[in-house]
Every structure is written in C-alpha cells, then in structure tokens.
Amino acid sequence: MPKLSLALAAALLMTLTGCGGLSVMPETSIENATHTAVLDEVAAAAAISAYRVQHGLNPVVVDPALVKAAAFQAGNNARHGQLSHEVGGSFTSRMASAGFAKAWAAENLSAGSETLEQVLARWKASPEHNKNMLLPQIRRIGIARVDAPTTRYKRFWALVMAGS
C-alpha cells in the first residue's frame, strides 16, 4: 500500500504543478539565435554600382537608414528561420518607418549564400531580383547579413534600395 500511496502522491503533485502553470521543462522559443555579420557596405555599393554602370545606370551609395532597414529584415528572417518579405511587416510600412514612404524602393532577400559575391550572383541570375538592382530610379542602398547557425539556411541577406 505505501508504494501505491507514493505513486498517487507523485501523480497528484505532477497534476497540481501543471495546473498551477509551473513548468519543469524550459519553454522553447520560435526565434533562433542570430548574429549580425560584419559587412563592408561600401564594397557592396561599389560592386552594385559597377554592375549598374555596365547597364548604363547611375551608381549607388550606402545610406545608413537603408542599412538599418536591411538589418531589420534580415534579422527577422534569421530569427524566424524563413525567407519572407512580410515577416517583419509589409515592405511599404517598413520603408515608411525608415523615412522612405514616397521614394522608389525595392528589396532583395536571399538565404544561404556565404559571401557578397555569391549573393550578388544569385540576385543577378534571378529576373525579379536583377530588375530591382537595375531600377533606374535607385540611388541609395543598404545591405545586411544576419546569421542563424541553427536554421536550415544559416545566413539571411537583405538588400534595400531607394531612389527619389
């Protein structure tokens, strides 16, 4: 009988613990640990500018507000382990928050590429991404990469471009 009483007491304790909202297991977060990669934004702007000039377009310069907007979106994608233009809010609302509500703007996202050269090659090979990089109105860019080593893609990129 003592073994039965001990088992009942343990079951009652576990039930009460669950009812009281206490948990002996740590809660898992849907967000992944991330690390913002250090990029040479000026080198990125130079590479994109060279590509644009080859196509008869004006060069671009780095804009700190667009770098911040790119880091925000790359970070949201990395934390959620997915590639989406909507995970951090709509592009229009994010651009308005960055002060570019009435500007020409575009965004390229990518995941998995290890280097700037790799991600630029992917964007050039993709008709829609390439079209964005070659928008004649674009004058400023921001680029960021956020790493999330525990996710499928590991690296998340965002390129945010704006013009007047």
CB atoms within 10 A of CB 140: 21
> What secondary structure does DSSP assign to 3-14, as a single string?
HHHHHHHHHHHH
Q: Is the pLDDT of residue 2 over 80?
A: no
pTM as predicted: 0.78
| CATH classification code of 35-163 | 3.40.33.10
**Residue ranges covered by each domain of the chain:** 35-163
Enter the tokens of residue 82: 């997915």
Residue 148 C-alpha from the chain's centroid: 10
Spell 26-54 as b/e; 16+ CB within 10 A means b.
Answer: eeeeeebebeebebebeebbeebbebbee
Provide mean pLDDT across the span 70-78.
94
Q: Phi, psi at residue 157, to the nearest 5°?
A: -115, 150
Rounded to 5 degrees, what are φ and ψ at 107? -140, 135
pLDDT digits (tens, 9 = 90+) for 80-112: 888 888 887 888 888 888 888 878 899 999 999
**Per residue in 21-55, pLDDT tens?**
322 323 334 567 777 887 899 999 999 999 999 99
With H, G, I as helix, E, B as strand and everything else as coil, classify residue 108. strand
Strands 35-36 and 155-163: unpaired
Structure tokens at 119: 């991600």
| pLDDT above 90: percentage of residues in the chain | 60
What pLDDT is stored for residue 31 in this prediction?
Answer: 66
Q: Which of 8-17, 37-46, 54-63 has the lowest mean pLDDT?
A: 8-17
Average per-residue pLDDT for the chain:
82
